[in-house]
A and B are shown apart, each in its own frame.
Chain A
Amino acid sequence: MIRLEHLSFQYGAGTQREGQLKDISLQVKPGEFILLTGKSGCGKTTLTRVINGLCPQFYPGVLTGSYFLDGRDAASIPIGELGSIIGSVFQDPRSQFFATNTTDEIVLGMENAGFSREQMLSRFRQTVAQVGVENLLERPLFSLSSGEKQRIAIAAACAVQPKVLVLDEPSANLDGDAIARLSTLLFRLKEAGTTIILSEHRLHYVKDFFDRMVIMDNGTITTVFDREAALSLTEEKLKSLGLRLFHEPAIVHGKRLVSTESAAVSARQISISFDGHKVLDEAALCAPEGKILAMMGSNGAGKSSFCRVLTGLYKQQVGQVYIKGKPAKRKKRTVSTFFVQQDTDYQLYAATVEDEFRVGKRPRDISKAQIERFLEDAGLHDMLGRHPLSLSGGQKQRLLLALAAASGKEILVLDEPTSGLDGQNMRVTAGLLKKLAAQGKSVILITHDRELLSEAADSLLYMDKGKVVYHRALR
């Protein structure tokens, strides 16, 4: 189906993108499921872009070697035509939707390929049934959960009935249930004969049905394992390759945790509603100093809303938030906490990493030596003069943790700090969080990442439908 021979790609002058490709040779048979993995910046995304034609037809650059698709020289196929053979699903569903409504998004590709209405209707029905999105039709896209958005993105890619499906980290923003649904969906597509190229850090959800695992490093394919060989790799070996594991660590609960007066932040009976819909229903929490509390639950369970109440972004309609045992109003909560959002680009403003430490209400009197110490702790010692937005995703996360440490605030709240990170970066971030907790900070994590949970968290607060189901210590 796909044949790459000594393929190299280098992004055009003026771009500083990571992941140039060097001498890639790979053959993919029809109906095969290829799991493409490797450390962040190893070239996985660039390889998926070469396969779907974005490189060099959209992202300019120099492509050498050969790429054959179904026996045809893919370089001579216009990208629009390639789109009808290869469906693409990107990491962030927010930026891949052109329409504002689910039904319109699914049919967009067919409308632009000039399908007749009858053809469209027939394929639309088939796709909706295959992907299982009947309940999501005719809904505004912006109001869907991450998992629902990702299913619509897959339905949109499948509507033109492509022979090949290329997915770039589709699980990055998904909860456990949504990942399980994604896994079932990919299995069904494979069974239907679709060739699948999946670029991923999380390996566990396809371990039962991928055919080959391709590991990349520094723009080259270093190893190709068949499924049996890949699954027999030891935990140590996977870690040494900077990869995540094939199994998700089990959660072993300890005793139930109760409120204590010494908590850095606590909340009682918090309720809020939006447009008549109850988002938080008498939720309570107690986050002690020097500990890491992880919040889990499905997308839409109320975790982010709860953290927004704790940090003062939302005002609760019922209940009270306490900081160090004293009732705290919204403004007090905002100035006492540091909220690191999932998308780090929202929180970096200065021209250099060093200047980032001096952004704020009152420019902080902080010496260069102190900044270097904070950066050293975050593993960013040689980044002082770099532009913050030129750092990788994992480095930006760690820079924000260094800024949080420097801010002097005692309560840190992080929304999915390891989303889209490879195993190595995830473990570095987990280590940094533990270091911050050891300094006495109270750390609250919103996460779906069980590996992070097992590496770093002291307790787990599980939420469902706006309620706290339990809060227990972890062993």
Chain B
Amino acid sequence: MNVQANHTSLDSRVYLFLLLAGAVAGMYARSEAAMLALFVVAVAFHVLDRRIGKALQYAFGYLFLWGITEATLAWVSATASGMALSLSNMSMSGRRAMVPLLFALLLAKTPVGSLMAALNNMRLPKAISIGTATMMRFFPTLAQEYRSIRNAQKFRGVGVGFWNTLFHLPRVFSCLLIPLIIRITKIAEELSASVTVRGVRFCGEVTSFRPVRFTKRDMAFLVCGMAAFVMILSFDYGLWRGGAA
């Protein structure tokens, strides 16, 4: 019986560090070119993980959000509309958030035991490893629950069609959020109960069924990723030329 070392090609700590660094870099990037470069670095790790189809989907998502930003900026300059400004900000923030989210998606593929053992090896409190593992578990659940609720709404006459959804946005959101919160709360409670009876607790040693190793290859990719972020921000702030832009 073979036990695979890992489901992703790199150690979970590589993705965790890049997630944190990507969040900071995404927040501080100033130019479109810098944001695009950060996104390309994050997508490159998905390509490395042989998720080429997904990488293409993310690229389309990025382009879509970029299109919204450009269109709404033109709208803002023509009419100074508050709605256009909000949409522009949302699409910009969405693109910034895509960098850490892409690493979070890779982290979510890491086996829970390996992730917890890896974080334990870093001498982090167990509360952090349980919290991180739970968060990763919730990514697919949230998506699944959202889809189920949107489907169910149609039969109650809520959010049927594009225009109906747009004109009754607050109502559609309220009908989405109430069941979503209820379901997530219920799942969270049942999940907590389930892991509690299975011995997952804030103290005690954790071992990993799969080998957990931080190899030279992992270190090389981590250093490359970090270096890419630093270089992109350096160019963005003009530090490469010896002064701020």
Contact = CB atoms under 8 A, between A and B. Distances in A.
Interface in B204-244: 204-209
Interface of A: 52-54, 57-59, 79-84, 86, 88, 90, 92, 94-101, 103-104, 107-117, 120-121, 124-125, 128, 137-138, 142, 156-157, 160, 311-313, 331, 334-335, 337-341, 343, 345-349, 359-362, 389, 403, 407
B82 interface: no
Given A112-B204, A349-B178, A359-B158, A88 B164 contact: no
Given A53-B197, A101-B7, A343 B148 contact: yes
Interface in B127-145: 133-134, 136-137, 140-141, 144
Contacts of B141: 94
Given A81-B199, A331-B160, 14 more contacts: A95-B186, A95-B194, A96-B190, A97-B191, A98-B133, A98-B137, A99-B112, A111-B207, A313-B154, A338-B155, A339-B151, A360-B157, A360-B158, A362-B157
A359 B198 CA distance: 42
Given A341-B148, A343-B148, A125 B197 contact: no
A265 to B, nearest CB: 14
A419 to B, nearest CB: 15
B111 A101 contact: yes
Contacts of B68: none
Contact of A109 (B133, B179, B199): B199
Nearest to A334: B154
B192 interface: yes
Contact of B197 (A82, A335, A346, A362): A82
B146 to A, nearest CB: 10
Given A58-B192, A114-B206, A359-B175, A94 B199 contact: no
A80 B156 contact: no
Contacts of B182: 345, 389
Contact of A361 (B140, B160, B183): B160
Nearest to A361: B157
A35 B89 CA distance: 59
A244 to B, nearest CB: 24
A80 B199 contact: yes
B83 interface: no
Contacts of B194: 88, 90, 95-98
A332 to B, nearest CB: 12
B101 interface: no
A104 B195 contact: no
B201 A349 contact: no
Contacts, number: 187
Nearest to A79: B196
Contacts of A128: 1
Nearest to B154: A334
A347 B155 contact: yes
Contacts of B205: 114
- Most chain A C-beta atoms within 10 Å of own C-beta, residue among B108, B161, B187, B207: B207
Going nearest first, the 8 A-B pairs with the smallest beta carbon separation are: A360-B157, A361-B157, A96-B194, A95-B190, A346-B152, A114-B205, A107-B209, A109-B198
Given A98-B112, A111-B113, A125 B1 contact: yes
Q: Which applies to chain B's interface (DSSP): helix, strand, loop or mixed? A: helix
Contacts of A338: 155
A116 B182 CA distance: 39
Contacts of A109: 198-199
Given A114-B207, A359-B175, A347 B156 contact: yes
Nearest to A312: B154
A114 B113 CA distance: 11
B197 A360 contact: no
B116 interface: yes
B79 interface: no
Contacts of A362: 157
B160 A341 contact: no
Contacts of A90: 190, 193-194
B90 interface: no
Contact of B158 (A337, A340, A361): A361
B206 A111 contact: yes
B162 to A, nearest CB: 11
B179 A349 contact: yes
Given A80-B199, A83-B199, A108 B193 contact: no
B174 A98 contact: no
Nearest to A347: B152
Contact of B156 (A100, A110, A113, A403): A403
Nearest to A342: B148
A446 B122 CA distance: 50
Contacts of A334: 154-155, 160
29 contacts: A79-B196, A90-B194, A94-B141, A95-B190, A98-B191, A98-B198, A99-B137, A100-B108, A100-B112, A101-B111, A108-B112, A110-B207, A111-B206, A113-B199, A114-B204, A114-B207, A121-B3, A311-B155, A335-B160, A339-B155, A340-B155, A343-B183, A346-B148, A347-B152, A347-B153, A347-B156, A349-B158, A360-B156, A361-B164
